[in-house]
Chains A and B, each alone.
Chain A
Amino acid sequence: MEDISALMHGFAVALTPFNLLLMFIGVSLGVIIGVLPGLGGANGIAILLPLTFSMPPTSAIIMLSCIYWGALFGGAITSILFNIPGEPWSVATTFDGYPMAQQGRAAEALTAAFTSSFVGALVAVIMITFLAPLVARFALQFGPPEFFAVYFLTFCSFIGMGKEPPFKILASMMLGFALAAVGIDTVTGQLRLIFGWHELMRGFDFLIAVIGLFGVGEILLSMEEGLAFSGRAAKINSKIVLETWKKLPRYWATSIRSCLIGCWLGITPGGATPASFMSYGVAKRMSPDGQKFGTGQLEGVVAPETAAHAAGTSALLPMLALGIPGSPTAAVLLGGLLIWGLQPGPLLFIEQRDFVWGLIASMYLGNIAGLIMVLTCVPLFAAILRVPFSIIAPVIIVICSIGAYTVHNAMLDIWFMLLFGVAGYAFKKLSYPLAPLVLALVLGDRAEDAFRQSMLMSQGHVQIFFANWLVGSMTALGIVMLLWPLFSRWRERARKPAAAAAG
């Protein structure tokens, strides 16, 4: 019950007029970011982060997390009306959302998408409210080996659960670690990997990488596809909203399943995108109308949207409780914490109660604000997509450049952004995943510190990662994840001859 009173205190923190204003600004910026190609939650927040340096941290995180909620909502608008997923996690929403729009049921689809997003987020926030303090309290006993084991598990999960070829995931992740190592070594103070180029002393900031990889890279990709927007008009009125809301309780089972899938994949670094696909697939298999999926089923919109939002929201749990982000966007928020002078990790719940509970309270309020905004302003946001790409593309490049510059007031960073953009384009086309790269770049120094401290404790013996049941089981689970692709390939091979014999 202590947590409930802490939450109430959080509401008091979040409910000042200034913070409420920031919430609405954040959500509307977020929806715009979600609607625009080339700007997403991660790089949108990365670009706006420098503007919050002078704000109090609590207000800053409220605004930035609201941008995140807004971006999650915004992805659905373009998927349903234009058949263009504004965000990767809304790809699955196009399967049934766009057919519904073609049949003239766009408003119904949008209402369902927004409402189920809200439900997914709400469930995840409730889970965070009760689970995060417990996890943080538990993690207080962690020493360097335990933290390294958590990092190890996080990164191995990318390999075990990723769809990309395992060696590409590994290469991309390790590239992130290598880039993180550039600059001054935090332990010995030596200069690493700068090859006499002193401007590199600062190292590669992950914000630059995020803006380049996701922003510029995305623009290059969209340019190649030669975007021709042909959208459906939509206007939502209260009658349709109420009618849709009456239909939605029918899909309670799908909703619960999607929430579970979303929360699980959000906490583990699976992320919102696989969550939305998996949830769509499960709903299709379990639903009595499964055969009709893809032709404009309301349930086919409910499932991925619920899961994507649940995953996107619960990705903040490990970020808050352990200091380990579950998604690139959570990683950017974590970077924000460091810049505002807060040390992420379990101590945050003790030392920065106002901040943590203000943020959690703002998750409740921000999602309500988001739901109201998107339900009332859909035509406005959809109009943004009618602005031709030949205006939007250069404007986004300009915005990205400004964002890259403001991180360190360094001209060189703009060049790096461009370089990361080209790399992002090539990586995306060759299915090298970007999320592990970004997470490794954010966590690189901390993972290395944890590793070196553990090595010091044990005088160089790796056995320290198996010293007790806690660290041992995490390390073992990590190794299982790491070897998972081998195992699944072996199983596939064992099954194939059998299937061939049967067929």
Chain B
Amino acid sequence: MSDTPERSAEPAGGITTRSAEIAVAVVLFGIASLVIYDSARLGFRWGAEGPGAGYFPFYIGVIIAVSSIVNLVQAAFGRSRVRGAIFVQWQPLRQVLSVLLPAAVFVLGIQVIGIYVASAIYIAGFMLWLGKYGWFKSAVVGFAVAAVSFVTFEVWFQVPLYKGAFDPLAFLGY
């Protein structure tokens, strides 16, 4: 995924690799602090009957903290990284978000109206807006995928899936 020279020469901006590296390192450091904090609470020393519950995670936390500091320093001051390298440009980022945000809405939808109805709406909507398909085709594909998964899981394998807080499919009796 290395940028070709002419692409990085473009004035089109984006999130720089440097800031992405720093962000990830900071998040990892945050996780490490949580791990260390809770391990210290549990006791990382030698307890009554051997090493305490926090013994192992404590050192794990310390190693994450150390390596994220190294990664942070390398990202911020390292000379190996080309300054101004782009992690993701705005246009591709928009495309990524156009998948990610609807996916988040979809998961929220599962919580409310259940996996089957949410899937049908999600697939149809995705095809309609991003795929520029017609109403009819989108609705057919959305319905078909939901119906096939319903038959596969509820009827065939008898694995009940999440029906949501308001179960709109209650009338089917599954």
Q: Which residue numbers of A lie inside 8 Å of B, CB to CB?
A: 50-51, 54, 165, 167-168, 170-171, 174-175, 177-178, 181, 185, 187-188, 190, 192-193, 195, 216, 219-220, 223-226, 388, 390-391, 393-395, 397-398, 401-402, 405-406, 409, 411, 414-415, 418, 421-422, 425-427, 429-430, 432, 448, 451-452, 455-456, 460
Contacts and interface: CB of A to CB of B under 8 A. Distances in A.
A188 B127 contact: no
B53 A187 contact: yes
Contacts of A406: 153, 159, 161
Residue among A390, A422, A451 facing the most chain B CB atoms (10 A cut-off): A390
A226 B161 contact: no
A448 B56 contact: yes
B34 interface: yes
Nearest to B99: A223
Contacts of A415: 107
B64 A430 contact: no
A177 B122 CA distance: 35
Given A192-B57, A397-B106, A455 B50 contact: yes
A451 B56 contact: yes
B71 A165 contact: yes
27 contacts: A170-B63, A170-B67, A174-B64, A177-B57, A190-B42, A192-B54, A193-B35, A193-B57, A220-B99, A223-B92, A223-B96, A224-B93, A224-B95, A388-B131, A390-B132, A391-B123, A391-B131, A394-B122, A394-B123, A398-B149, A402-B115, A405-B162, A415-B107, A418-B103, A421-B103, A429-B88, A460-B51
A178 B29 CA distance: 12
Contacts of B161: 402, 405-406
A411 B103 contact: no
Contacts of B139: none
Interface of B is mostly: helix
B24 A430 contact: yes
Interface in B66-101: 67-68, 70-71, 74, 87-88, 92-93, 95-96, 98-100
B103 to A, nearest CB: 5
Contact of A181 (B60, B102, B160): B60
Nearest to A166: B67
B99 A393 contact: yes
Contacts, number: 170
Nearest to A447: B56
Contacts of B28: 171, 175
Given A177-B60, A224-B88, A192 B53 contact: yes
A226 B21 contact: no
A390 B67 contact: no
Contact of B21 (A175, A398, A402, A430): A430
Nearest to A387: B141
A230 B64 CA distance: 43
Interface residues of B, number: 67
Contacts of B35: 178, 181, 193
B172 interface: no
Nearest to B68: A171
A185 B50 CA distance: 14
A181 B56 CA distance: 9
Nearest to A219: B99
A401 B1 CA distance: 27
A70 B89 CA distance: 36
Contacts of B67: 167-168, 170-171, 174
B170 interface: no
Contacts of B119: 398, 401
Residue among B93, B153, B162 facing the most chain A CB atoms (10 A cut-off): B162
Nearest to B133: A390
B60 A398 contact: no
Contacts of B96: 220, 223-224, 425
A432 B87 CA distance: 14
A432 B24 contact: yes
B100 A391 contact: no
B71 A167 contact: yes
Residue among B28, B34, B87 facing the most chain A CB atoms (10 A cut-off): B28
Nearest to B165: A411
B123 A411 contact: no
Contacts of A190: 42, 53
Interface in B120-174: 122-123, 126-127, 130-133, 141, 145, 149, 153, 157, 159-162
Contacts of B123: 391, 394-395, 398
Contacts of A395: 123, 145
Nearest to B55: A452
A211 to B, nearest CB: 13
B64 A456 contact: no
